[in-house]
Every structure is written in structure tokens, then in C-alpha cells.
Structure 1
Amino acid sequence: MTPTAGDQAPEFEALLCTGESFRSTTLDAALDGGGVLVFFGFAFSAIDENWWKRYDRAGWDEFDVPVLGVSRDGPYAQNAFIRYLESPFRMFSDTDGEASEAFGLLTEREGMADTSTPMRSVFVIDDDGEITYDWVADDWISPVPREEIEEAVADL
């Protein structure tokens, strides 16, 4: 079941990628006082490339809390994606799908045999690990409610 506002964020551990390196890191350690968790489908897909560029242009890297991505891509692909975008964001490599499953987001991709990814979603998490805002997309391309997310971050 996908957690919603008021729930504790499920804890997980995965490889956190910086664009140059990766290290096994828990969600709690990566957030270190709250943050934004963005689940997405595939590094290098046109859709996700577009969204991460939008987050950068919107100044999400200037939040007082980190913005972290999560996808099923391996750490080398995640690091290459971060470098390609010249992105200021770090991203979890959820190769085993444990983070996506912990958040109840793992879904099979239609027309892609035996391929599952998390649904596009955003969670704002406070310094106590409580989800203060949640959004899960109904499809793979609709825009995130950026202004709502930015308000939720401002309220942290």
C-alpha cells in the first residue's frame, strides 16, 4: 500500500549515486532532516530527462532539503544520467525494486515483458520521517503538481 501524508516514510537502503560515485545509503541518512523523494521510470528516457531538467530549472536544488530520485536503473546508468543532465540532484539506484516496493509503487510496464518500475510519484518527508505531502501519477507523462510540492517543502 502506498503511504500517504501522515504516514511514516518506509525505510530502505539502496545505492545513492552522486554522478561520480555511489554508496549504500539508507533513506533516513540521505534525507538527514527531511527532503523530497521523486520516483521515476527510467534514466535517459525522454520523459524523465524532461522532468529532471524542469526540477533543475525550477530551482529545486535550492530547497533547504535534498531532492532525491529513485529508479530501477543501475548505479552506473544513474551516475551517467546525472552527469549527462549536469544535474545537482542525487539518485538512488533501486535495482532490486525494494525501495519502490516499500512505497507500494512497483508496477509492471505494459508491453515490456518482465519489466517493472515505480509509478511516477513525489513524497515530501519531514525531519521526523513523516510524509507531509504525497502525489502519485495516474500515467507516465502528466506533470507533477510543482507548486503544491514547493508549498509543501516551504512548510517543512
Structure 2
Amino acid sequence: MRVVVQRVSAASVTVAGEVCGQIGPGLLLLVGVEEVDGQQDIDWLVRKISQLRIFNDDAGVMNLSLLEQGGEVLAVSQFTLFASTRKGNRPSYSRAARGDISRPLFEQFVDSLSRVLGRAVPTGVFGADMQVALVNDGPVTILLDSRDPE
């Protein structure tokens, strides 16, 4: 699984003109699922995201985690995180999991993160054409890949 983590002042996702998820200060997560992903990928990412120290403390230093800071989270599925352009200019998404595989894993990821945080994590609509709006705070943007844990 790959997750683009963006620290935001605000973010929202809209489908067919209707806002289906929105948050204030916190994290926007763009989540891509690969065919080989499973529960171990979810567990690693949930632990990493919840403990990632990317919120400022009183001294203005990025020293607080999501658990310590209490920010909100918005999760959006995004198969394009597995795009490849090795053979030309048109992206190939062959590494992205099909919907019947990626949807349950995305939902498990959201459920696991919700349990760890102790609050609901709003999402977009899986497989829909979504418009995501955000105000990146910092800017802080981090790419996490469960297949390449650093």
C-alpha cells in the first residue's frame, strides 16, 4: 500500500457536487492498494501514520503525532498512486489492485485507523470521480510505502 500523507489546515472531497467528507486541521491521506497488499501492510501504515511526528509543538518544532495532536483525518482511495510510465507517456495502472481487492483493503485500513484514533475517519466514495480540495499546511507531504518501510 502507498499513502500520500498531507498535513492540512482543511480538506474536503466532493462527488457529483456533494461534499461527502471534510476536515479541519489534520491529515489528508491518499491511499493506493496493490494486489499483494494485506493486513500486515494496513497494520504498518496505521501505526506509522498515527505515530508520525509531523505536527508542531509549542516551540514550533514538528514533534507531535496525530495521536498527541488530535487532528482530524480524511482518507481518499487513489489507484493512480501505482501509475507507471516506464514504457511511454500514458500511465499504466497494472500494479493497482482491482476494485474487488482494493475496496475491502481500503475499508479495513480506514476501520483500523478509526479504531486507533478513537474517532471516525471520513472518506470519499470508492471508485467515484472525486474532487479533492486541500490547504496543505507547511507544506508537509510525505509518501509512505508499506513495501519499502524506511
TM-score, length-scaled by structure 2: 0.42
Structure with greater strand share of residues: 2
Higher relative contact order, chain-length normalized (CA < 8 Å, sep 6+): 2
TM-score, length-scaled by structure 1: 0.40
> Which of 1 and 2 has greater Rg?
2
